Amino acid sequence: MLDKIFAAGVVGAGGAGFPTHVKYKTKTEVFIVNAIECEPLLRTDRYIVETFAPEIVAAALQIKEHLGASRAVIAVKEHNAGMVSALRRAVGDSGVDLYLSPSVYPAGDEQNLIFCITGRVVLTGGLPLDVGCVVSNAATVFQVHEALAGRPVTDKIITIGGAVANPMTVSAPIGTALADLLPLAGGAVGDCVTIIGGPLMGRVAESLDGEVVTKTTGGLLALPRDAAILPKKEADLAREVKMARAVCCQCSMCTQMCPRNAMGLNVQPHKVMRALAAGNCGLIGAEANGVWSCCDCGICSDYACNFGLHPSKMMQVYKGRMREQGVKPVKEVKYQPQGFENKRLPTARLMGRLDLSRYDADAPFAGSVEVQSVRIPLKMHVGGPCTPTVGVGEKVEKGQLIARPEGLGANIHASIAGTVTAVTAQMIEIRR
């Protein structure tokens, strides 16, 4: 199994990009398929599960057996009736369990999901494996199914949504220019910027020049420049220091609403803001371990703070400084989980606060995208960039191996048939 997964170049398709053949090189108790689709507006998992539920269940059983797990669970939001119905038919009496989650944010966070399904808390600085779990995104599990049949990863399912004329979900060859996808949905409506990924955890791109589809791309969203969420995605340190001193009242609402804090991981954004206001731009002593447990879900910035401050962004600033200073997390759970069920944020309420509800439209599958050229990055995964195995002028077929990793990484394959027209340290270009 691991050889076939490695050969196919499967990585965590939900965004992490960790090579799947490495993740599955273990034994564990519980295997979890994450089909929650945590981010609002995205519909990729919905399409994959509704269309390929039998394949996902079959792969989940094979992975469970390989891992020696006693339990396989597929997690999905209970309000997604099409997904639930498709999975119930596919599961049958196979022994795979379904976990139906309420529509809350961030239900799809890996540690959040493990806690809801098993009651176990992943330690600060720890891995799911530490509590007997392995978690894979639904798209990854489907790719494993394809890998076991000898089909490599060449395409990615992507939602094109937000302020566009016709939201849709498409299958695009890896290396497709993102600028070519937006017009398929009728283009942006009005003066917009684009977000690559989901609205909360995705990144803002003023320009799509050079941006391409990778193995971890999940969405392409257009949002008006005056969208409520955009200022929350930017954080200027000097401004945040001034704002923390001027208006942060230490109400601690950011900490009270933090899902990781409710799991006992001592994430306290209000203390980071306190340190910022006090001019302590170094470490924050005993609270450093809590900073390591922040998952950057953004609830503290996007919902909890009534003054428009950005505690989550400051948490990332401090986390970066701790890395620079060589500070390591200490594996621990600070205290027993408390109040978790009462602190789960309804996704609809979050979208209302961020004025995203207007874009919460269906994005039906519109088929596969045909392109004339692709620029395939040599690094789309955790680990180092891959080494090309093809040269300029060489003809390649779709699915042919074109680059392989030297150490930690994943194979890369041609996503279209054509001729190699450029090879650099960053990418391989293929034209039909």
Nearest to 30 by CA among 2, 64, 57, 81: 64
If we measure between CA atoms, which residue out of 112, 40, 105, 131 comes closest to residue 261?
112
- In the chain the domains, ranked by start, together with CATH numbers, are 2-148 (3.40.50.11540), 154-227+355-370 (3.10.20.600), 233-345 (no CATH), 372-432 (2.40.50.100)
- Classify residue 63 as exposed, middle or buried by CB count within 10 Å of its CB (0-12, 13-18, 19+): buried
Mean pLDDT for 55-80 is 97
How many CB atoms are located within 10 Å of the residue 207 CB?
9
Cis omega (within 30 of 0) for bond into 364:
no
Rounded CA gap, 8 and 55, in Å?
17
Token pair 């040599």 is at which residue? Answer: 378
Q: What confidence score (pLDDT) does residue 280 get? A: 66
Amino acid residing at 27? K
Q: Assign 286 a pLDDT band (cuts: 50, 70, 90).
A: very low
Least confident range from 194-198, 288-292, 376-380: namely: 288-292
Residue 114 has pLDDT above 60, yes or no: yes
Structure tokens at 398: 């779709």
Q: Are strands 97-101 and 71-77 parallel, antiparallel or unpaired?
A: parallel
What percent of the chain has a predicted confidence (pLDDT) above 90?
78
Dist CA 177 CA 333 (whole Å): 43
Q: Please say if the pLDDT value at position 233 is more than 50.
A: yes
Query: Highest-confidence range of 138-147, 286-295, 332-341, by mean pLDDT?
Result: 138-147
Q: Pick the range with the lowest mean pLDDT from 324-328, 390-394, 400-404.
A: 324-328
User: Residue 370 pLDDT more than 90?
Assistant: yes
CB 184, CB 164: distance < 8 Å: no
Q: What is the pLDDT of the chain when averaged over all its residues?
A: 93
pTM of the model: 0.94
Residues contacting 425, CB < 8 A, separation 6+: 378, 385
349 Cβ neighbours under 8 A, 6+ residues apart: none
Res. 317 pLDDT band, cuts 50 70 90: confident
- Mean pLDDT in residue range 157-166: 96
* Least confident window among 29-38, 53-62, 268-277: 268-277
Q: What is the mean pLDDT of residues 156-178?
A: 97
Higher per-residue confidence, 277 vs 362: 362
Strand partners, 373: 431
How far apart are the C-alpha atoms of 47 and 161, rounded to whole Å? 14
Name the residue among 302, 380, 294, 279 with its Cα closest to residue 329. Answer: 294
Confidence band for 285, pLDDT divided at 50, 70 and 90? very low
Smallest CA-to-CA distance from 35 within 127, 129, 132, 142 is with: 142
Read off the pLDDT of each residue in 279-305 and give the average, rounded to a whole number.
79
Q: What is the mean pLDDT of residues 297-322?
A: 88
Compute the average pLDDT of residues 339-350.
91
Amino acid at 325: Q
The pair phi, psi for residue 385, each rounded to 5°, is -65, 155
Coil/strand/helix, residue 134: strand
pLDDT-based confidence at 279, cuts 50/70/90?
A: confident
136 CB neighbour count, 10 Å cutoff: 27
Query: Higher pLDDT residue, 201 or 28?
Result: 28
Highest mean pLDDT among 12-16, 147-151, 224-228: 147-151
Here the tokens at position 152 are: 């490599």
Residue 332 has pLDDT above 90, yes or no: no
* The predicted structure's pLDDT at residue 282: 55
Q: What is the pLDDT of residue 140?
A: 97
